[in-house]
Amino acid sequence: MRLLARSNWDRCRFEVITGAEACKAANPDEGTQKDGTGWSPWAKAAIANDYIREEGAAGRMGAQLYLVALKKARGGYEFRAPRDEDEAAAAAAEEEMTRVQGNWESTGLALDEDIPFGKETHDHGYGVCHWRDYFSPRQRLALGTALDELRKVQRKAQEDLPKDRAEAVGVYLAIALDKACDYNSRMTRWHSGRQVVANTFDRHDFSFKWSYAEFDAARNLFPWVVSQVTDAYAGIAKLMRPSSASSDRARASVALHVGSAASIRGLRPGTVDLVCVDPPYYDNVIYSELSNFFHMWLKRSAAHLVPTIFQAPLANTDDEAVANSARFISEVERQARLNGGKVKRRRRRKAEGDGEQTPDEQANEDYERKMAAAFREARRVLTPHGVLTVMFTNKKVQAWDALARGLIEAGFTIDSSWPVNTESSNSLHLANKSAAQSTIILACRKRDHDGQGRWWDDDFQAEVRQTVRAKAAEYEANGIGGVDVYLSVFGPVLHLISTAWPVKDPQGGEVIRPERALDLARQAVSDYRFEKLCSTGHVALEPVTRWYVLAWDIFRAVQIPFDEARKLALAIAGDVRVTVTTGKKRLTKKTKDFLEGTLIVQTGLAEKDGSSIKLLAPERRARDGKIDVGAETFDHPVDAVHVAMVLQKQDGLGAVGQFLDKTRLKQDPAFTTTFEALLHAVPRVRPEWKALEAIRAAHLSKKVKPLREPESLDLFELARQAKANVIDDPEPEDEPEEEDDDGEEA
C-alpha cells in the first residue's frame, strides 16, 4: 500500500502497488507509526507519543479503512483500496451503534464495565478504558447483534430440547461467540505471510494495534467460528471412543473436579500413583487478566447456563498461581499508571536495612508460596512410590528458582528431566522474543527427609559444571538448540541440588537458594556453547563481541529481558563500571555498568526498550555513528562484521569483497571466529543471518563453513528411548557427557 496525503485533504488516501520493484520503490515500511512514535504524512514530522495518548484519551483518535481483501473463487485474495461505498458502510454501522447503545445498556448487551488495573491492563492509554473500547463501532454492532440472537436461540433450545442437551448447545454457541470476539477486535491484525486474520491473543497480551483487521461479520465470521467449535467438539468426542487397536477398556470411572490444586477434594492420602501438572510459567501469561476479555461476553451469554462460573464480575485474579506484580502495587501508583503517568519503580532496599519489598519481590514470594502449597497437596495424595511430573519453561532464572524452592520445600526431589519441543515457531508471541520452544519435563519423587546435606564448595560446583556440559551435548544431539539448551540443563542441576538438600554456603553456613546453582549452570553452558559455535577452534574474543554472540545464541531474538541481558553481561565482563556522557540538550557524565555503559551507550549494540533491551541492526548502528563503514581497523570484531553487513545491503557483495581485501580481515582469526559464531547463533529466519550467509558464500566459503543442524527428537522417539532405558537420571560420571487455529478465511 502507498499512503497519499495532500495539504488540501482532510483524510489520507491509499493506493495498491503490485510488483516487487514497484513495491520496493514505494517503501511500504514508511508508515505513520514506529516504536510508539507517530509520523505525520502531511507535515513529514514526528508526533510525540504523549500527544497521541492525550488525543486518544480525549476520544479524538479514530481509525480509517485503508485496504479491502476480497477472496477469489479459486483461492487467494485480491486487494483494493477502499471505495466510497466501503467508507459509507463503516459510517452507517457507527451511526447504528450510536442509535442502539442506550437500549443495549438497559438490556445488558453493552460492554460498559471499566477495564480493571492489572499487569496486562495497566495502562488506559489511547482511550481504551472500557471493555467496549477494544472493539470498533462496526465490530461492536456485529458482536452485540449476534449476542442478542444467541440469547433467542438458547431460549428456543430450552423449549425444544432436553435440559442437558439444551445447556450443551447454548454453551458451545457461547464459545463460538467468544471465538468471534477473539478474531474481530481492534487488537487483531492481518497476517500478511499467511494471508489470514490473526486473533487478538496471538501474542498472549493486550497489545495495542496501530493497524487492525476487521473480519467480514455480515457473512463469513459466524459460520466460520461455529464450524471451528463443531470441529473441535467432534475431535474431543472422537477421543472418547475406544481404540480399535485394543479390546481393553478403562475399568475405573473418571472423576472431574474443578478447584484449587492446593486442596484436592475427595482423594485420601497415599492413593494416587501419578500427579501430572503443567503449572503457570511464573509471569509468562497472566491467565485471569486475559480471561476477562472473554468473561465479559460469557457472563452475558452463558451465566444463566453455568451460574457457578460466569456470574462473578471478573475472573479470580487473587488466587491464581502466577507472579503478578500488579496485585502488590499501591493505589497511588495504579492511578498514575492508568492515567499514562510513569512511576519510578522502587529499588531493592534490604541492603540498607529497609525491609520494604518491591511489587516484583512480593509477587515472587506469592508465586513460590502458592506453588509450594499445590506441591504439598500433590505429595499428600501420592503413594510412597508415586511420581509427580511437572512441565515448565521460562527464560528467567528467578522463575526456575521459585519453582525449585516450591518443590523442595514441599518435600520432593527432582529425579530426572528431559526437554520436549512443544511450541510452534510460527506463534507471534515467540517471534522477535527470547521465548523457548521446548517444555522441560521434571519427574519428581517424595523425599523422606532432609539428609546431612552438602556444602556449596569447589567440588560440588565442579560437579555442576561437568553435568551441564555432558547434558548440553546430549540435548544438542537430539535437536535442542538456542535458549532451550540453556534451560534444559536446569533440570539436571536441580536434580543435583534436590538430592543433596540442604546445600549450604561454606562461608556462613546458610542454605543457598537454587538460583546460585542455576547461575553457575548458565555460565557453564555459555562457555560450552561458545566453544561449539566455532568449528576452527576457540579464539578468545573481547567481552563486547562475546556478549553479542552469546546474546544471539541464548535468546535467538532481538528482544531480550533486561535482567537476563545484565546477568549475561556480568558473567562475561564482571562488575565493570564505565563513565559515559548522556543527554541531548544537557550533557551529563554518569557511571554505568557494562550493559548500560558499554553495550548500550558506547557501542550502540542495543537499546533499552521498557523492561527489555533490543539488539540493534547494523544499519541502525551506522546511522547512529556507532560504526564507520569507511574504517579499516576496529576495536570490536563484531563492528567489522556489522560494517560488512551494511555494505552488503547498501552497495552489494562486490563492495564487501573490496572491504575484506582492503582490511585483510579474511586473515584475522578474531573476525572469522566472530563471523562463524554469528552465522551459527542467529536464527536462519532473521535478515541478519541471510546477509551473513550471502557474504560467507561469496567471500568466506573457505574460511567459514555452516554447521549441519541435528534432527529434532520427537515425542514418539523420546518414548521409545525412555522405554529402552536410554534416558536415565543425570549422573555426570555415567555420561559421555499446538497447531495454531488461526487459519481462518477473511
Residue that the C-alpha cell 497480551 belongs to: 205
Judged against a pLDDT cut of 90, whether residue 438 lies above it is answered with no
When mean pLDDT is compared across 140-149, 243-252, 633-642, the lowest value belongs to: 243-252
**Predicted pLDDT at 563:** 80
Judged against a pLDDT cut of 70, whether residue 529 lies above it is answered with yes
**Predicted pLDDT at 337:** 66
Helix-helix angle 163-182:287-301, to 10 degrees:
130
pLDDT band at 742 (very low <50, low <70, confident <90, very high): very low
Residue 171 C-alpha from the chain's centroid: 30
Query: So where are the chain's domains?
Result: 1-82, 106-237+287-321, 262-282+358-535+722-746, 536-700
> 310-350, pLDDT tens digit by residue?
888 998 889 999 999 999 988 877 776 666 555 444 444 44
Task: Yes or no: say if 98 and 46 are a contact pair by the CB < 8 Å rule.
Answer: no
**Most confident among 219-223, 311-315, 390-394 (mean pLDDT):** 219-223
Measured in degrees and rounded to the nearest 5, phi and psi for residue 593 equal -80, 180
pTM, two decimals, is 0.75
Q: What is the average per-residue pLDDT within 396-407?
A: 90
- Reading the block at residue 673, the C-alpha cell is 571466529
Q: How far apart are CA 395 and CA 654, in angstroms?
A: 41
Judged against a pLDDT cut of 60, whether residue 746 lies above it is answered with no
Judged against a pLDDT cut of 80, whether residue 576 lies above it is answered with no
Helix-helix angle 687-695:637-651, to 10 degrees:
90
Judged against a pLDDT cut of 50, whether residue 425 lies above it is answered with no
Residue 503 C-alpha from the chain's centroid: 33
**Preceding peptide of 502 cis, ω within 30°:** yes
Judged against a pLDDT cut of 70, whether residue 625 lies above it is answered with yes
Strands (E), 536-576: 559-561
pLDDT band at 586 (very low <50, low <70, confident <90, very high): very low
Specify the DSSP class assigned to residue 156: H
When mean pLDDT is compared across 386-390, 572-576, 688-692, the lowest value belongs to: 572-576
pLDDT band at 729 (very low <50, low <70, confident <90, very high): very low
Percentage of residues in the chain with pLDDT exceeding 90?
A: 51
> 169-207, pLDDT tens digit by residue?
999 999 999 999 999 999 999 988 888 999 998 878 888
| Summary mean pLDDT of the chain | 84
Helix-helix angle 163-182:221-239, to 10 degrees:
120
> 16-73, pLDDT tens digit by residue?
988 888 887 877 777 787 766 788 888 888 888 888 888 888 888 889 999 999 989 8
Task: Tell me the three-class secondary structure of 528-543, residue by residue.
Answer: HHHHHHCCCCCCCCCH
First to last CA, the chain: 18
> ∠ at Cα 143 (141, 147), nearest 5°?
115
Q: How far apart are CA 102 and CA 203, in angstroms?
A: 34
Judged against a pLDDT cut of 60, whether residue 353 lies above it is answered with no
Q: What is the average per-residue pLDDT within 527-546?
A: 80
Alpha-carbon separation of residue 60 from 52, 54, 110, 511, 571 (angstroms): 9, 9, 21, 58, 49
pLDDT band at 281 (very low <50, low <70, confident <90, very high): confident
Judged against a pLDDT cut of 50, whether residue 726 lies above it is answered with no
Q: What is the average per-residue pLDDT within 287-294?
A: 93
- Reading the block at residue 735, the C-alpha cell is 555420561
Closest among 321, 318, 317 to 369, alpha carbons compared: 321
Which helix (H) or strand (E) covers residue 40, if one does?
Answer: strand 37-40
Measured in degrees and rounded to the nearest 5, phi and psi for residue 145 equal -65, -40
**Predicted pLDDT at 346:** 47
pLDDT band at 743 (very low <50, low <70, confident <90, very high): very low
Task: Yes or no: say if 680 and 706 are a contact pair by the CB < 8 Å rule.
Answer: yes
Q: How far apart are CA 180 and CA 143, in angstroms?
A: 8
> 638-686, pLDDT tens digit by residue?
999 999 999 999 999 999 999 999 999 999 999 999 999 999 999 988 9
Judged against a pLDDT cut of 90, whether residue 289 lies above it is answered with yes
pLDDT band at 431 (very low <50, low <70, confident <90, very high): very low
**Predicted pLDDT at 538:** 62
Q: How far apart are CA 372 and CA 191, in angstroms?
A: 41
